[in-house]
Amino acid sequence: MTEDGGRLRRDAVAVYGLWKRDIVRFWRAKSRVVGLLLGPFFILVFFGFGFSDARFGSVPSSLSYLEYLVPGILGFTMLFSASFTGLAVLSDREVGFLKEILVAPVSRTAIVVGRIAGGATTTMLQALLILVLAIPLGFRPASLAGVLVAVSFLVLVAATFIGLGLAIASQFKDTQGYNLIVNFALFPLAFLSGAFYPLSNLPLPLRLVGYLNPLTYGVDGLRGALVGYSERALVADFGAMVVAAAVTVALGAALFRRVEAV
């Protein structure tokens, strides 16, 4: 086997190992999974029924608020769950696991890919569980094809915010600073995404900030795929998310390569 072939094999094994580790940790930490699901589910129940008569001028009257809200809650779930990938990296630093993988004979790119793959899989599982829980409440996806399109948007949303989480985590030595920054950013990102109400309801300055938010296009794409209503063409939302994912993943990978094995 050539040197390049051996390196590729080691990288592939590293990617799979990190992905599998995240999946195993996800299934073992059942209390954490339940905790992460309860928040979005309660919002779905209380907002979905509490504002069942809510109507927005730009939204068709035939669309119930629950139908409008479910795609937004999926995006909300992805955003918060993806932030835990960066937190997991810092937790691994504190227990010494990060140092072990950084000094291993594998590329930093393989480590980043493994982290993103594991984080994307677990966050998507949580979002799909929320989608399943929404069905007894009365939500019905427009079509199976729409669900498949929605999955592609979930992948892009996960990659975008996991990449961003890795970029932020690479600048900190412990979880405290990371938590401070992330908690400060999460709620503005969620509430300026169109997840709970159309951006057109907001004042112009806030609306413009919302248009710079990648989650805006992820939520709109999810809504278009699942209920057949979106403010933009699906291809435009998809293109925006591809660009956002590419930028944040590249940024996360570039900054993670500078992390020292200490």
Q: What pLDDT, in 10s, does the model give residues 125-146?
A: 889 999 999 999 888 998 899 9
Average pLDDT, stretch 24-51? 81
Residue 213, domain member (yes or no) = yes
- Quote the domain boundaries for residue 55: 3-256
In Å, what is the CA distance from 85 to each residue of 47, 63, 123, 170, 191? 28, 35, 9, 12, 21
- Of the candidates 145, 89, 148, 108, the residue with the CA atom closest to the CA atom of residue 14: 108
Residue 262, domain member (yes or no) = no
| 51 confidence band (pLDDT: 50, 70, 90) | confident
Residue 57, domain member (yes or no) = yes
Average pLDDT, stretch 72-100? 83
At how many degrees (to 10) do helices 234-256 and 214-227 cross? 140
pLDDT digits (tens, 9 = 90+) for 153-197: 999 999 999 999 888 888 887 788 888 888 888 889 999 999 998
pLDDT score of 2: 62
Distance CA 109, CA 114 (A): 9
Residue 261, domain member (yes or no) = no
Residue 120, domain member (yes or no) = yes
Number of domains in the chain: 1
